[in-house]
Chains A and B, each alone.
Chain A
Amino acid sequence: MDIRQSEKRRRFLTLGLVCLVLAALLLPFLPQVIWSFSHRWLFPSLLPTEWGLRGWSYVFSPGARLGRAIITSLTISATVSLLSILVGLPAGRALGLYRFRGKTLVQFLILSPAIVPAFAAAMGIHIQFIRYGLADTFFGVVLVQLIPTLPYVVLILGGVFSSYRIEVEEEARTLGANQLKVLWYVTLPSILPGVIVAGLFAFMISWGQYLLTLLIGGGQVLTLPILLLNFVNSGDYTLASVLSLILIIPSGTILWYTSRYLTREGTALGGFGKL
């Protein structure tokens, strides 16, 4: 009896905690949802006195170019996460598996963009990008966004490789697998959850970039945050709320599905390795 009751209480507590966490995560979005449908909402009314669809009908009008901005944002973030994985894999492997002279320095240098605001370096990069013709281009924006994403990707992949047993690769080689087969059948499957987590991080960081995109893209590479900030700055909370809700949807969806995929595999935390 006693045990069952304490079990019950434990379950109740867990449920309460989950609800609390969910509320802390979701409640901040409630005012935004209300704002997005408000037409007239003035102090001190608790709720809008008039509701309307001005915000939603504007963003879905062709002049708002929402579709274009979503596609641009998605392509940029996907490319950035792909590229940072490609660059981050060898770096993470080297940092996670090997000891070498100056490793701490390399680690520090790789992490430094996470400490120093990327914007500081980006001013100089902008001048160079103008010379190379990369300013105002899609690819220029992708390149500059690698600065804030790479530290996290390398950090995560370094963690993954530090708990990786390289002997397995050697065993496969002695059994006759060539390098490509080892990569495909041995290495990749065992680090895949970590790669996905790292890719997600890169995607999220890139998805929310405003300053770097504005500076290098010059406003011509029209991403969602660029559209959004125009209305945040002008104080149009209705439009700003609509756009920020839209900004959350794709990243939220991706996060949801990936975390489900990862937990089903039972490796959601395993992806982080020994961080």
Chain B
Amino acid sequence: MKAVSMANRAAALLMLIFFSACAPPPAVSTQVASPAEPAAALEQSPAGAVTAPGFEGKAWADIVAEARGQTVNFYMWGGSDTTNTWVTEYAAAELKKQYGINLNMVPVTDIVDTVNKVLGEKQAGRDANGSVDLIWINGENFRTMRQADLLYGPWAQVLPNSIYVSSDDPSVAYDFGTAVDGYESPYGKAQFVMVYDSAKAPVPPASIAELLAWAKANPGKFTYAAPPDFTGSVFVRHVCYSATGGYEQFLGEFDPELFSEKFPDCWKTLNEVEPYLWREGKTYPENRTRMQDLFANGEVYFDMTYNPSEASSLIAQGKYPKSARTFVFKDGTIANTHYLAIPFNSSNKAGALVVANFMLSPEAQYSKAQPANWGDMTALDPALLPSEWQTRFAELDLGEATLSSEVLAAHRLPELQADWLVSIEEAWEANVLHGQ
């Protein structure tokens, strides 16, 4: 009896707490104090652009007006303090000041969790008021979202700043082989470069074949991070491009027959060099950070990265020796673009559009490209920029170890479609890591 009445009281107390917790939160103050800057007010969608779904008959200025006061939940990989700080301090402050938008950066350890989150919301029937407004994405995650119809669009063409993006650049129009079709807007670019210490190896190898020959001649001084680490994975793709007679044959959809016919040559090449790798190839560095440590410590003579200016930043931070330099292979290195996309059920689409447009603006791209801020390669085509911005980008000091944008642009190879990547990573594990 007593236990029951006690339970009743507890239940009443619980209810009380429930209700007090359900009280409406204090209203988010909408920014009205600072007027939009003239540049923002003058912005227009490119002439002839198809309007974004849901904004029919509306001009860009209407979207900007609607976006004012919205909170945009921006989901992004949050593992780097530099990247986080650029978004939470620079971008968020500018968006607040110029557009009255609150940018809420949501850090995640792997963006695939966010893809699954949106998928979960779709399955639960939450077609509006989704929790994700903007997502930093590319490759297989973009493909998954497109295939599952999880993305809003097409919208990238309405962004006023999209005029600075080269429309015929295949590395922007295709995201790991998947047509972008306006469902995501470029954010930045990445290109694979090798890092070497010019004090120790004055002449860098010109090709994969030369690099592997060097590794055999210098046992224990070379290694790569184990795929699926994305830097290790892209290195393996370079070796496979070289060992199988070129990437051109793999550009289409995944072809299992072609894969099992051609790729054994690649595993053979990698297995041949394995005994000469760091720790005799019995183990591989688990991720990019460990790889950096090995190079910084002089245990290995080469490092590799998707960010061409990263070595310069690491020299500036004192982590890499001043003599560190970067190089690309004469046959080129793999490049890709990373993007921003808007989920189908975002409740702040206007805000997300304005944020994506801001991220594409010359000022944001310039700030992001500075090695001290982030050092991310711009997604814009400098040739399309107003002359003052052209000069600023040209004069941007990317650091002594960074190759010029001309050299990089002249040595660009495309990524394969996501299915190829997954198969290569799995086969590497079976044939190289556990093979022999």
Contacts and interface: CB of A to CB of B under 8 A. Distances in A.
A220 interface: yes
B10 interface: yes
B347 to A, nearest CB: 11
Contacts of B297: 42-43
Contact of A86 (B10, B21, B121, B126): B10
A130 B126 contact: yes
B121 A130 contact: yes
A69 to B, nearest CB: 10
Contact of A234 (B113, B289, B319): B289
Q: Which of A86, A139, A236 has the most CB of B within 10 A?
A: A86
Nearest to A57: B81
Interface string A220-237: 101000110111011110
Contacts of A222: 106
A220 B348 CA distance: 15
A210 B132 CA distance: 19
A242 B85 CA distance: 16
B3 A93 contact: yes
Given A86-B10, A90-B10, A236-B289, A214 B120 contact: no
Contact of B89 (A61, A82, A97, A179): A61
Nearest to A129: B124
A82 B81 CA distance: 35
A94 B3 contact: yes
B148 to A, nearest CB: 16
Contacts of B206: none
Contacts of B290: 235
A65 B107 CA distance: 11
Interface in B103-125: 104, 106-110, 113-114, 117, 120-121, 123-125
A230 B78 contact: yes
A111 B3 CA distance: 20
A220 B121 contact: no
B296 interface: yes
A133 B6 CA distance: 31
Contacts of A62: 88-89
B436 interface: no
A50 interface: yes
A135 interface: yes
Interface string B265-289: 0000000000000000000001111
Nearest to A187: B6
Given A40-B318, A63-B88, A219 B108 contact: yes
Contacts of B87: 63
A220 B131 contact: yes
Contacts of A214: 113
Interface string B10-36: 100110010001100000000000000
A39 B316 CA distance: 13
A172 B114 CA distance: 57
A64 B82 CA distance: 11
A239 B81 contact: yes
Contacts of A98: 3
Nearest to B73: A220
Given A83-B14, A90-B10, A179-B5, 16 more contacts: A40-B318, A50-B318, A63-B84, A64-B84, A87-B10, A90-B3, A90-B6, A127-B120, A130-B120, A130-B124, A219-B114, A229-B109, A234-B79, A234-B80, A234-B109, A235-B289
The 10 closest A-B pairs by CB, nearest first: A234-B79, A235-B289, A63-B88, A90-B7, A130-B124, A42-B297, A230-B78, A233-B109, A219-B106, A63-B89
5 contacts: A54-B81, A63-B84, A86-B13, A89-B6, A220-B106
Interface of A: 39-40, 42-43, 50, 54, 58, 61-65, 79, 82-83, 86-87, 89-90, 93-94, 97-98, 126-128, 130-131, 135-136, 138-139, 142, 166, 169, 179, 183, 214, 218-220, 222, 226-227, 229-231, 233-236, 239
